[in-house]
Structure 1
């Protein structure tokens, strides 16, 4: 049975921290593939993404290009509207019944996991949630109810103080974002003048 980790998010833009988390999940948890799933409208974030759906999808595809274990799925962008993880996982299980799915989340999402839409159903559908600490957001499971806490596996990864918000802010201020995002994504952002002031 194939074991895949879902990495959802706005990816506005995808950056090297996302890729490091994906690679670490492959390495530590022995997953076969990472499926990047750009969100249409994330339920726990306010405001629309700065880049268009097409541009965000293009950037994720560029970032994943050439990695034999990375796949990019546009299932949430095709569906449109609010992107609930439980609906995405259910649809992916229908498409790929022989795949065991886990969901990769950062430390900033672990704390609000209990608030996710139909989280009990989502947890039942998954092998587990894979949680990584982020600067300022340790992988703290203590606030989670016991059944949910038991479905979260955490691992350490090299800490990179990068966020999509910081990338957009640096770009808007006219500062360099080189080496914060993959080279192909950097070139795409510059060529299309995304996130500029």
Structure 2
């Protein structure tokens, strides 16, 4: 069986916290690869910002382009509609019967597991892998395989706010190619001034 990590999210934008988290899980569980899977319409968030699905997908591609074991999974974007993890995992297992999937979630998502769509059935289909995040309890009665990783208090919301305030220096927070794309596209109210190295 091929062991594949699935990392779902809005990735609006993807940042170094996402990359660190995925890399730690990849190493800890000896996975073949990690697939970053942008949501089409996440059930746990009211709405995305003005970015399009194509723009979010492009940012993920740029964020992971230099890591050979990171890939993009467009399943939920291709399907469209609300992205329920149960439906996604069920369909992906049917598509790839010889793949064992590990679904990566942060501490905040661990806390919310009881509210997930068909969670008890989902637990039978996939192994959940949890990584603690600052400010979350990361405790649940559900079976979640926890991976120790450096905790960084960084969110896409924080980055969007920094960009809206036209703060230039985003070193060590965003991959350089992602920041460049954001500024070229004028996303999140950013300017096209790219911070220098």
- TM normalised by structure 1 equals 0.92
Counterpart position of 1:165: 157
Structure 1: how far apart are the matches of 2:148 and 2:133?
A: 10
Counterpart position of 1:178: 171
- The aligned runs of 1:121-132 (5 Å cut-off) are 121-126=121-126, 128-132=127-131
CA offset digits 1:122-154 (Å, max 9, x no partner): 11011x21111111114223xx3xxxx2x2011
* Structure 1 position 8 matched with structure 2 position 29: no
Report the 3-state secondary structure (helix = DSSP H, G, I; strand = E; otherwise coil) of the residue aligned with 1:120.
helix
| Cα shift at 1:6 | 0.6
* Structure 1 position 52 matched with structure 2 position 48: no
Give yes or no for contact 1:105–1:132 (8 Å, CA) kept in 2. yes
Structure 1: how far apart are the matches of 2:187 and 2:70?
A: 24
Report the 3-state secondary structure (helix = DSSP H, G, I; strand = E; otherwise coil) of the residue aligned with 1:195.
helix
The count of corresponding residues between Structure 1 and Structure 2 is 189
Counterpart position of 2:118: 118
Counterpart position of 1:19: 19
RMSD over aligned Cα atoms: 1.2
Structure 2: how far apart are the matches of 1:178 and 1:185?
A: 11
Structure 1: how far apart are the matches of 2:124 and 2:50?
A: 34
Give yes or no for contact 1:12–1:50 (8 Å, CA) kept in 2. no
Give yes or no for contact 1:10–1:49 (8 Å, CA) kept in 2. no
Structure 2: how far apart are the matches of 1:116 and 1:169?
A: 28
Consecutive unaligned residues in structure 1, runs of 5 or more: none
- TM normalised by structure 2 equals 0.92
Structure 1: how far apart are the matches of 2:26 and 2:137?
A: 20
